[in-house]
């Protein structure tokens, strides 16, 4: 069921379901609780919402909720998605409504429980990388990106800015297992409490805020996350605002609490029924948070997001281990709900064959320039982003050539000033580009020695000025010292009298020769050359002469 809601001064309102005479009654419950009665769902849907939250729920199996379009959308601050008439792109059974997608999705898991939630998972009180999560859920998250199943989402994009496409590059960045004030079986936990748990991780340093990360909150068996878990919905995703930032999150109750409502398992393919149950609802929410993160991008005229359109549809299955499965993620088999393919007219599928995204190429044009007390490193983006948007860069440094180690990780910028340097020491730098898959190969090396501020370049050595058999004079020169900042070009001067040279041409930074064809036969010409950098023009070379043929 799709809902966009803000829990403020609730007032009763009626919303007409298009094409029926039924009515959705939206009315206030206890403070912070909004009840949405769906006639076909066999009762009301209760979710305890935080102020300003916007969520989209995954109804339990057999529910008919959110299968009818809503024609009215706002009243007294309560917002319910209006499915009809908002689409700007149609054609595959699902519509694009103008909002952003997440091009390279990331996931951070929050295990909010007094003990380990899933077998082999993190111990309470610990934090770590996704690779350190030994649970089956952790394995699934670590291998979902690049899989044929997650490739279905690559058929979605947006028109925000220059436009984006979903990359098959989901990353499990890390986890936080928090036992502090952890809910116990039988507890009813509001959406406000879930959001506050995520915020607690931000402020305490256990979680790092990232706009492309979905913060998935898990708890132990029997905990009612959001107010209607296991009886009305199995999970939900949404967004909320924190410190001016949009936070994407997914609320993941322990669905094996009620397998009949929140599981399609027939046996357990990995001999871990709790985790095997959870991954099916988890991937459902991640697929929707990817294509409709702020509830204004992809959904159909009935309000169904991509995974909703295939909810509890498992397609063709096979036997694996102790149960039925339908996809292979990594080297393990799972039973997950299908997803909606936004191509070829649209349909529910288990996989979509696309070339998985890879790490980006190496940054190009890396330079290092020194000034008094600092070194500035500059670069250009790599020729290839690997099929996923570049999200940042890593800067590596050493005082010995070829021994660079990671110094810092930056956002999507193309320069860095290193102020932690010592005068007179030469520093070597390399740069890598980062996307949702990971960090790419290191760039070519650049180096600089901080000391006095950069100056003008030295004088080139004009090594030759000879008559050309093709008419004119051929000049050659050597590259001088750059003065502490890269040479940007050269200037060539000429006269027919000693010491009276004037500028006749400028050459690029890579030039070390020039043929002067604007000469007259039998005339002797005198030449000088200078180098130019960002500070200015350097001294002139010595004079050289030649008699033109």
Per the listing, tokens 């010595």 go with 542
pLDDT, averaged across the chain: 84
Do residues 272 and 136 make contact, with C-beta atoms less than 8 angstroms apart?
A: yes
Q: What is the arithmetic mean of pLDDT over 457-463?
A: 93
pLDDT given at position 32: 28
Count of residues in the chain: 549
Per-residue pLDDT band at 452 (split at 50, 70, 90): low
> Does residue 420 surpass a pLDDT of 70?
yes
SS (H, E, C) 390-418: EEEEEEEEECCCCCCEEEEEECCCCEEEE
> How far apart, in Å, are the Cα atoms of 6 and each of 9, 53, 72, 241, 389?
9, 6, 16, 12, 32
Do residues 12 and 77 make contact, with C-beta atoms less than 8 angstroms apart?
A: no
Instruction: List, for residues 393-415, the tens digit of each pLDDT value.
Output: 999 999 999 999 999 999 889 99
Please tell me the distance from the alpha carbon of residue 210 to that of residue 318, in angstroms, as a whole number.
Answer: 38
Per the listing, tokens 């979680």 go with 207
Bridge-based pairing state of the strands 245-252 and 213-218: parallel
Please tell me the distance from the alpha carbon of residue 13 to that of residue 146, in angstroms, as a whole number.
Answer: 45
Residue 534 CA neighbour count, 13 Å, CB half: 8
Please tell me the distance from the alpha carbon of residue 35 to that of residue 29, in angstroms, as a whole number.
Answer: 6
pLDDT given at position 79: 31
Per-residue pLDDT band at 354 (split at 50, 70, 90): low
Per the listing, tokens 């690029």 go with 508
pLDDT given at position 91: 60
**Contacting residues for 31 by C-beta, under 8 A, at least 6 apart:** none
Instruction: List, for residues 82-105, the tens digit of each pLDDT value.
Output: 332 333 445 689 999 999 999 999
H helix or E strand, kind and range, residue 138: helix 136-144
Please tell me the distance from the alpha carbon of residue 396 to that of residue 404, in angstroms, as a whole number.
Answer: 5
Q: What percent of the chain has pLDDT over 90?
A: 68
> Does residue 163 surpass a pLDDT of 50?
yes
Q: Cα 319 to chain center, whole Å?
A: 35
Lowest mean pLDDT among 292-296, 447-451, 476-480, 486-490: 447-451
Q: What is the arithmetic mean of pLDDT over 170-179?
A: 97
Q: What is the pTM of this model?
A: 0.59
Please tell me the distance from the alpha carbon of residue 527 to that of residue 509, in angstroms, as a whole number.
Answer: 19
Dihedral pair phi/psi, residue 260, rounded to 5°: -65, -30
Do residues 357 and 329 make contact, with C-beta atoms less than 8 angstroms apart?
A: no
> Does residue 546 surpass a pLDDT of 80?
yes
pLDDT given at position 162: 85
């Amino acid at each position: 069921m799709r809902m966009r809601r803000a829990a403020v001064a609730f007032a009763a309102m009626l919303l007409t379901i298009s094409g029926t005479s039924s009515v959705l009654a939206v009315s206030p419950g206890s403070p912070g609780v909004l009840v949405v009665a769906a006639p076909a769902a066999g009762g009301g849907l209760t979710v305890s919402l935080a102020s300003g939250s916007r969520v989209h729920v995954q109804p339990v199996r057999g529910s008919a909720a959110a299968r009818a379009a809503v024609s009215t959308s706002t009243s007294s601050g309560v917002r319910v998605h209006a499915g009809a008439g908002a689409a700007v792109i149609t054609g595959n059974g699902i519509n694009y409504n103008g909002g952003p997608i997440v091009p390279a999705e990331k996931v951070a898991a929050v295990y909010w429980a007094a003990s380990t939630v899933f077998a082999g998972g993190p111990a309470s009180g610990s934090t770590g990388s996704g690779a350190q999560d030994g649970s089956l859920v952790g394995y699934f998250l670590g291998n979902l990106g690049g899989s044929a199943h997650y490739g279905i989402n690559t058929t979605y994009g947006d028109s925000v800015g220059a436009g984006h496409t979903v990359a098959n590059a989901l990353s499990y960045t890390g986890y936080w297992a928090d036992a502090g004030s952890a809910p116990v079986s039988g507890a009813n936990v509001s959406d406000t409490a879930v959001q506050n748990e995520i915020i607690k991780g931000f402020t305490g340093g256990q979680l790092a805020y990232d706009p492309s990360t979905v913060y998935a909150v898990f708890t132990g068996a029997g905990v009612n996350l959001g107010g209607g878990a296991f009886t009305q919905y199995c999970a939900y995703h949404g967004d909320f605002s924190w410190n001016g930032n949009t936070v994407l999150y997914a609320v993941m109750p322990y669905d094996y609490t009620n397998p009949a409502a929140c599981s399609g398992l027939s046996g357990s393919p990995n001999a871990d029924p709790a985790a095997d149950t959870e991954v099916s609802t988890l991937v459902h929410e991640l697929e929707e948070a990817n294509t409709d993160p702020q509830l204004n991008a992809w959904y159909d005229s009935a309000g169904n997001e991509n995974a909703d359109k295939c909810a509890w549809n498992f397609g063709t299955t096979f036997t694996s281990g102790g149960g039925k499965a339908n996809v292979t993620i990594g080297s393990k088999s799972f039973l997950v709900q299908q997803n909606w393919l936004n191509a070829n007219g649209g349909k529910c599928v288990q996989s979509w064959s696309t070339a998985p995204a890879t790490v980006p190429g190496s940054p190009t044009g890396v330079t290092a320039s020194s000034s008094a007390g600092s070194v500035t490193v500059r670069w250009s983006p790599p020729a290839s982003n690997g099929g996923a948007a570049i999200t940042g860069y890593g800067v590596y440094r050493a005082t010995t050539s070829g021994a660079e180690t990671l110094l810092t990780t930056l956002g999507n910028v193309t320069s860095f000033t290193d102020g932690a340097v010592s005068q007179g020491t030469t520093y070597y730098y390399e740069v890598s580009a980062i996307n949702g898959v990971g960090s790419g190969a290191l760039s070519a090396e650049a180096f600089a020695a901080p000391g006095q501020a950069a100056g003008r370049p030295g004088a080139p050595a004009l090594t030759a000025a000879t008559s050309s058999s093709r008419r004119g004079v051929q000049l050659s020169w050597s590259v001088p010292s750059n003065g502490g900042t890269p040479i940007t070009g050269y200037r060539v001067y000429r006269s027919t009298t000693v010491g009276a040279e004037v500028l006749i041409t400028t050459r690029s930074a890579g030039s070390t020769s020039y043929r002067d064809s604007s000469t007259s036969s039998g005339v002797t010409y005198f030449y000088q050359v200078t180098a130019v950098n960002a500070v200015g023009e350097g001294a002139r070379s010595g004079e050289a002469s030649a008699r033109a043929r």
